Structure 1
Amino acid sequence: MLAEAPAQDKPRPDGGWAQALETLRDAVIVPPVESAFQQPAGILRADGSYCDTGAFWRNHRPLTTAPSAPGQVDETLEGRWLWAGVLWVHFGHFLVESTGRLWGLDAIRDRFDGILYMPKRPARGDEIAGWQRAFWQMCGIDLPVRVLTEPARVETLVVPGQGFGLGEIISGTPAFRDYMASRFAKDIAPDGPERLYLSRSKLGLSKGGLIGETRLEEQLAQHGYEIFHPQDHDLPTQIARYKAARQVVAAEGSALHLFGFVGRPDQQVATVLRRQSGATDQIAEHLRSFCGIEMLQIERLQRIFRKTGGHKKRHDLGVIHMDGVREELAAQGFIAEGGAPWDKIRWNEVRRVIGNRYEPRKRED
């Protein structure tokens, strides 16, 4: 029998269920069985009703919905466990969508026996990446973490509200912001230059990027910026760099969400947009709410190309308007004013990249 539908509205940073805690006895966690955008999966109370405060929301709708009761539950977890939600393998989605319930560890003073997730992609099983374990360690978490791939009953399950995520909740609830400010990466000292460029150029362009980014790196290096490729470094090194920098320029991407957990109001941040997307506004709100930073968004692109026949904006390629970027960075003090214009990226360079696999995207697309 299908459990009842969710009753609550989206999680909000200023009140409601996102800031609430529910403690359940003998709850059953039902992981997803198929990979899909929206999945029947989540928590059933002992009486079979659906615990809708345990659902995973993005923007205006839940991406996990009430599952059917499993025919058999073979495992029972004794003790007190924290419900942490859906575990993403993708770096950016993990940071934003797999961390928002950890604040419950501070809200309940009694000892927990562990933390429970279910996988977003069932094919990944109970896989946990080393960098994810490093992230939890930097939160001061020394508990076992389980990723459930089969239904399991839990003696005592604490369900914190979703205190962070994509949508209005990107601002974070006060409890989640306080948890990250007091816990995350407190023992990592600043280490690095005052000027830092967060690059995507080594990631390739198959999943979106900036055409001409290496040219931009050459120019920024002349202005004293270290060209930093986050994926080449462990999380402590990344955070040490982010703490040390006074000025950060970044190709728009997930690295800024990690920065958002350790940034300070005295730092300047600018991002060079690679697409037209509301995702950039979410990054900006993350930095505004958590760090007190007003991020400069530089949307200076000659053209935007999409994969032929494709509609996913995250795969778009933006052609940098080099001198437009220079003008905006200079106007906001990220580089010195004056100097020669930055050379334009020519069509023959663009054509070598896009071939016949991309087509221009209209601004209204």
Structure 2
Amino acid sequence: MTADVCDTAVKIYKDATCLPVFCPVPRRPGKGGVFDKEKRLIRSTLLLRHNFPSGVKSVDRPDLEHDPAVKTERIVREGTIGETESWLKGRYIFGGYFFYHYGHFLLETLTRLWYFKQFPDVPVIWISFEGDDFADWHVDLIRQLGATNEIICLKHQTEVESLTIPEPGYVISSRFWDCQVDALAMVRGYAPKAGKKVWLSRSSLKKGVILNESLLEECLTASGWTIYQPEAHSIADQVKMLADAEEIAGIEGSALHTLVLMPDYRGRITIFDRVHVSDFEMIADKLGVSQRMIQVQRMSLHIIANTWPNEINSWWKDIDEVLGHLDVVRPSYAGQAIDQRLAAITGSVAKYFGAKNCMELWPEHNTAAAGLAGLQRYLITNRARFDVAAAKQSGVNHFDVRPDVFFATACLRAPIDLFVFRAADEGDNVEQTFYGSLDVSHVNSLWIMDIPVEDAAARKPFERIMNSNPALSAARIQGSSYILLWRAIRSLAVTSLEWLRRQDLGQGAKWELPTMSLNDVAKQIEMDRKKNRSNAL
């Protein structure tokens, strides 16, 4: 699109009425818009996003009425005009709709930058979306891009004496004019610096995150990558960091739209798919950037109603697959020899009770489940410091994720016979993980839990679990830090006594577990199971 064509894409309206946008129904298109002096909607001011099911189809003037390839999403609908509350005399330029969000601000709020920066003496008005207003960083970015116009964000119905409305230079999924490319350029001419690789991290965000990204970042750091959290830096610093990088990679998100501020970038970009927004492809194609969009299997947490797809948290099923796309190898850890007592207990329990599968949680320096040949085995940990590649090659299912996150996802088809809870750290959500394991257990499932007698911090979550679940019984295995837990209804008298002790002491009761040999524990479990069956009859 040449500059002279852009110059013709402008219309001037006298006594135009600007109506701020509000959403009567959450997460639905808002009502607002701009109207001429006869109170007729100026359709070119509605915020439209054009998507093409068959892929990216760059068009300058989509035929919204007749082109079947165009799928239109209207974000702003015609609103109801009431009494005008304020008036602006003189000439103004319509900037569009103000979005606080970085990506939408960069691409859509600034979509008419190509025009208004040519007229620095003319104020620019934006229509507020849901009452939002410019923050310092929004203004700072506009100034760094060379626009010195007065900035006005309308929050009330306002009549404008003379309103110049240029067409947008950027429309999601369909339009990116040359003049808008030039207008957004903050830096130009940087050459890639050999060996500089930057990962744009989302790990400190709250929504739309990959929950095991931090583990990937550990591996990337060990391979010389820079882990960069853009939200902690100014936009100018972000551009400075990225402009001369040999490689930029990250999870699909707004931080990667910073590319439009450095249109001469000639490194390589790798984007791991999250919601697959076609704009990334359109922008890269327009700027001639070497870019890959890669899909890696993700497991989504339970979806909450009224949540946008790009706000749903998930986790990568296989970190090694992500590393492979970046030509990075997971650091090699020697690990430690397994505690022979744990190995003997795990092997004996699995054999005696005929377990067909075993799930080990939080293994850190070694693994007990990997040694149980013939069983379906699962390792769930976000901090493995042993050779997981060898475990995977032997048929173990390994998931690089926190156990509580794993259980918040529908991953398993068959219930688990034997759970092995390794020593948990203070930050681990042991209780939530245990209750998650109940969802994938059955009536005869068993839990081996590493809870040292002298570790009061480790005992507290276990004591809360026991105090809240009279249908569970447990015993410490003699000569070890391991507890075996199973389903068996304890005496109601004991349950009442513990409740009274909690009331008297004002705190959780301490369970004094019996200490028994492994054989005696096994016998007790068999007796309790027979009692359970009798009660069921």
Common fold by TM > 0.5: yes
Q: 1:110 to 1:244 in 2, by over 3 A?
A: closer
2:55 pairs with 1:55? no
1:307 to 302, 305, 317: 302
**Residues 12-161 of structure 1 mapped to structure 2, 5 A cutoff:** 20-34=9-23, 36=25, 37-59=28-50, 60-70=72-82, 72-106=83-117, 110=119, 112-122=121-131, 124=132, 127-161=133-167
Looking at structure 2, the residues matched to 202 and 313 of structure 1 have their Cα atoms a distance apart, in angstroms, of 19
Report deviation, 1:91.
1.7
- In structure 2, relative to structure 1, the CA distance for the partners of 1:27 and 1:293 (3 Å cut) is same
Paired letter, 1:179: A
Partner of 2:230: 230
Cα deviation for residue 316 of structure 1 reads 3.7
Alignment check: 8 A CA contact 1:113 1:143 kept? yes
Query: Structure 1: which amino acid aligns with 2:97?
Result: V
In the alignment, residue 88 of structure 1 is paired with which amino acid?
F
Q: Which residue of the other structure, out of 203, 207, 222, is the alignment partner of 1:201?
A: 203
Residue in structure 1 matched with residue 169 of structure 2 by the alignment: 163
SS of the aligned residue for 1:135 comes to helix
Q: CA deviation at 1:259?
A: 2.3
Partners in 2 of 1:115 and 1:190 — Cα distance?
A: 36
Aligned residue identity for 1:269: I
| 1:295 to partner: Cα distance | 1.4
Q: Which runs of 5+ in 1 are unaligned?
A: 1-11
Q: How far, CA to CA, are the matches of 2:188 and 2:139 in structure 1?
A: 16
Deviations 1:164-204 (A, max 9, x none): 132223xx1233223223xx356999999821111011113
Change in 2 beyond 3 A, CA 1:111/1:329: closer
**Offset of residue 23 of structure 1:** 1.1
Contact kept, 8 Å, 2:323 with 2:330, in 1: the verdict is no
> Alpha carbons of 1:259 and 1:217: their partners in 2 closer, same or farther (altered >3 Å)?
same
Deviation string 1:64-108 (CA, Å, 9 cap, x unpaired) is 2223332x22322122211111111122221222111221215xx
Mapped to 1, the partners of 2:272 and 2:242 lie a distance apart of 17
Which one has more relative contact order, counting CA pairs under 8 Å at least 6 apart?
1
Letter of the 1:200 partner, please give it: R
Alpha-carbon distance in structure 2 between the residues aligned to 1:186 and 1:268: 16
Tell me the distance in 2 between the aligned counterparts of 1:235 and 1:31.
28
Structure 1 counterpart of 2:271? 271
Q: Indicate the residue corresponding to 2:320 in structure 1.
A: 323
Q: Answer whether contact 2:41 2:78 (CA < 8 A) is retained.
A: yes
CA contact (8 A) 2:318 2:399 kept: no
Shift in Å, 1:226: 0.8
What is the TM-score with the length of structure 2 in the denominator? 0.55
2:376 is matched with none
User: 1:219 aligned to 2:208?
Assistant: no
- Kept after mapping to 2: 8 A contact 1:87/1:94: yes
Equivalent residue, structure 2, for 1:173: 177
- Percent identity, aligned pairs only, is 20
Distance 1:201 1:104 in 2: 37
What is the letter of the counterpart of residue 351 of structure 1? P
Q: Which residue of 2 aligns with 1:9?
A: none
Contact 2:188–2:263 at 8 Å: present in 1 too? no
Q: What is the Cα-based RMSD across aligned positions, in Å?
A: 3.5
Helix, strand or coil for the counterpart of 1:201?
coil
**CA displacement, residues 293-347 of structure 1 (integer Å, 9 cap, x when unaligned):** 131122223x4213245564211403152221232222xxxx5x89969868944
> Which one has the largest radius of gyration?
2
One-letter code of the match for 1:42? G
CA contact (8 A) 2:315 2:401 kept: no
When residues 73 and 196 of structure 1 are mapped into structure 2, their CA distance, relative to the original with a 3 A threshold, is same
Provide the C-alpha distance between the structure 1 equivalents of 2:189 and 2:15, rounded to a whole number of angstroms.
38
CA-CA distance at 1:263 after TM superposition: 4.2
Q: Distance in 2 between matches of 1:62 and 1:82?
A: 22
Q: What is the distance in 2 between the residues matched to 1:101 and 1:312?
A: 27
Inter-CA distance 266–247: structure 2 relative to 1 (3 Å threshold): same
CA gap of 1:21–1:65, structure 2 versus 1, over 3 A, is: same
Which secondary structure state, in structure 2, belongs to the residue aligned with residue 287 of structure 1?
Answer: helix
SS of the aligned residue for 2:170 comes to coil
SS in 2 for 1:32: strand
Q: Which amino acid aligns with 1:201?
A: S
Distance 1:177 1:320 in 2: 38
CA distance in 1, matches of 2:22, 2:289: 41
CA distance in 1, matches of 2:108, 2:303: 30
Contact 1:191 1:243 in 2 (8 A): no
Report the 3-state secondary structure (helix = DSSP H, G, I; strand = E; otherwise coil) of the residue aligned with 1:219: helix
Question: Is this contact kept in 2: 1:82–1:115, CA < 8 A?
Answer: yes
Q: Secondary structure at the match of 1:210?
A: coil
Please give the alpha-carbon distance, in whole angstroms, between the structure 2 residues aligned to 1:61 and 1:282: 14
Task: Identify which of 387, 405, 417 aligns with 1:353.
Answer: 405
Q: Distance in 2 between matches of 1:267 and 1:187?
A: 12
Aligned letter for 2:35?
Answer: L
Aligned to 2:359: none
Aligned partners of 1:192 and 1:240 also within 8 Å: no
